[in-house]
Protein backbone atom coordinates (compact mmCIF):
# COMPACT_ATOMS: atom_id res chain seq x y z
CA UNK A 1 0.00 0.00 0.00
CA UNK A 2 1.22 3.49 -0.80
CA UNK A 3 2.15 5.82 1.99
CA UNK A 4 2.16 9.63 1.72
CA UNK A 5 5.94 9.53 1.32
CA UNK A 6 5.87 7.36 -1.79
CA UNK A 7 2.82 8.62 -3.65
CA UNK A 8 2.96 9.21 -7.36
CA UNK A 9 0.74 12.01 -8.63
CA UNK A 10 0.10 12.80 -12.26
CA UNK A 11 -1.59 15.27 -14.54
CA UNK A 12 -2.21 15.50 -18.27
CA UNK A 13 -2.56 18.88 -19.95
CA UNK A 14 -2.41 20.44 -23.41
CA UNK A 15 0.81 21.97 -24.75
CA UNK A 16 1.90 23.00 -28.25
CA UNK A 17 3.29 19.45 -28.60
CA UNK A 18 -0.07 17.83 -27.81
CA UNK A 19 -1.24 16.37 -24.53
CA UNK A 20 1.63 16.16 -22.06
CA UNK A 21 1.65 13.78 -19.11
CA UNK A 22 3.67 14.64 -16.01
CA UNK A 23 4.20 12.43 -12.96
CA UNK A 24 5.61 13.66 -9.67
CA UNK A 25 7.05 11.76 -6.71
CA UNK A 26 7.78 13.42 -3.35
CA UNK A 27 11.34 13.93 -4.65
CA UNK A 28 10.43 15.66 -7.93
CA UNK A 29 9.24 15.12 -11.47
CA UNK A 30 9.90 11.53 -12.48
CA UNK A 31 8.09 11.27 -15.83
CA UNK A 32 7.27 13.62 -18.68
CA UNK A 33 5.60 12.13 -21.73
CA UNK A 34 4.93 14.33 -24.73
CA UNK A 35 2.02 13.61 -27.05
CA UNK A 36 0.00 11.37 -24.73
CA UNK A 37 -2.69 9.80 -26.90
CA UNK A 38 -4.74 8.16 -24.13
CA UNK A 39 -4.70 8.69 -20.39
CA UNK A 40 -5.03 4.94 -19.83
CA UNK A 41 -1.74 4.34 -21.69
CA UNK A 42 0.03 6.95 -19.55
CA UNK A 43 -1.38 5.40 -16.35
CA UNK A 44 -0.20 1.92 -17.43
CA UNK A 45 3.30 3.34 -17.95
CA UNK A 46 3.21 4.84 -14.45
CA UNK A 47 2.02 1.57 -12.93
CA UNK A 48 5.36 0.03 -13.92
CA UNK A 49 6.95 2.11 -11.14
CA UNK A 50 4.03 2.65 -8.76
CA UNK A 51 0.97 0.46 -8.07
CA UNK A 52 -1.59 3.27 -7.78
CA UNK A 53 -0.74 6.60 -9.42
CA UNK A 54 -3.17 9.33 -8.41
CA UNK A 55 -4.54 11.97 -10.77
CA UNK A 56 -3.97 15.38 -9.18
CA UNK A 57 -4.62 18.03 -11.83
CA UNK A 58 -5.22 20.89 -9.39
CA UNK A 59 -2.25 20.05 -7.13
CA UNK A 60 0.09 19.98 -10.13
CA UNK A 61 -1.22 23.24 -11.61
CA UNK A 62 2.07 25.04 -10.83
CA UNK A 63 3.94 22.56 -13.02
CA UNK A 64 1.39 22.95 -15.81
CA UNK A 65 1.73 26.74 -15.57
CA UNK A 66 5.51 26.51 -15.87
CA UNK A 67 5.19 24.35 -18.99
CA UNK A 68 2.86 26.95 -20.55
CA UNK A 69 5.26 29.77 -19.64
CA UNK A 70 8.15 27.78 -21.10
CA UNK A 71 6.37 27.17 -24.41
CA UNK A 72 5.38 30.84 -24.63
CA UNK A 73 9.04 31.85 -24.19
CA UNK A 74 8.53 33.49 -20.78
CA UNK A 75 10.32 30.85 -18.69
CA UNK A 76 13.93 29.83 -19.14
CA UNK A 77 14.44 27.66 -16.05
CA UNK A 78 11.96 25.38 -14.33
CA UNK A 79 11.62 25.69 -10.55
CA UNK A 80 10.85 22.03 -9.93
CA UNK A 81 13.51 19.39 -9.50
CA UNK A 82 13.75 16.09 -11.38
CA UNK A 83 13.56 12.74 -9.59
CA UNK A 84 16.17 10.69 -11.45
CA UNK A 85 16.13 7.63 -9.18
CA UNK A 86 14.14 5.44 -11.60
CA UNK A 87 16.88 5.08 -14.18
CA UNK A 88 20.04 3.04 -14.41
CA UNK A 89 23.34 4.60 -13.34
CA UNK A 90 24.07 5.35 -17.02
CA UNK A 91 20.64 6.95 -17.57
CA UNK A 92 21.06 9.06 -14.45
CA UNK A 93 24.44 10.30 -15.74
CA UNK A 94 22.86 11.26 -19.06
CA UNK A 95 19.90 13.01 -17.43
CA UNK A 96 22.11 14.97 -15.02
CA UNK A 97 24.24 16.18 -17.91
CA UNK A 98 21.15 17.09 -19.97
CA UNK A 99 19.72 19.18 -17.13
CA UNK A 100 22.92 21.25 -17.13
CA UNK A 101 22.47 22.44 -20.73
CA UNK A 102 21.42 26.11 -20.60
CA UNK A 103 18.08 27.22 -22.02
CA UNK A 104 18.16 27.76 -25.77
CA UNK A 105 21.38 25.79 -26.26
CA UNK A 106 21.71 22.51 -28.10
CA UNK A 107 24.25 19.74 -27.88
CA UNK A 108 25.04 16.77 -30.11
CA UNK A 109 24.92 13.14 -29.06
CA UNK A 110 28.69 13.10 -29.54
CA UNK A 111 29.07 15.98 -27.07
CA UNK A 112 26.87 14.15 -24.58
CA UNK A 113 28.79 10.89 -24.96
CA UNK A 114 32.11 12.67 -24.46
CA UNK A 115 30.80 14.65 -21.49
CA UNK A 116 29.61 11.60 -19.56
CA UNK A 117 32.66 9.55 -20.47
The total of structural domains in the chain comes to 2
Q: Which domain holds residue 30?
A: 4-79
Whether residue 52 is found in the same domain as residue 71: yes
Whether residue 33 is found in the same domain as residue 16: yes
pTM: 0.83
Whether residue 63 is found in the same domain as residue 102: no
Whether residue 62 is found in the same domain as residue 99: no
Whether residue 74 is found in the same domain as residue 97: no
Contact of 47 with 53, CB cutoff 8 Å: yes
Whether residue 59 is found in the same domain as residue 93: no
So what's the pLDDT on residue 1?
39
Q: Which pLDDT tens digit goes with each residue over 22-47?
A: 999 999 999 999 999 999 999 999 99
So what's the pLDDT on residue 23?
97
CATH code, domain carrying 13: 3.30.160.70
Amino acid sequence: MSSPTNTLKYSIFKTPLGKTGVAVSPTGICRVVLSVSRESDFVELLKKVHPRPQKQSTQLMAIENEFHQYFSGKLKKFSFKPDLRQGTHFQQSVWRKLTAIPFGNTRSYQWLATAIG
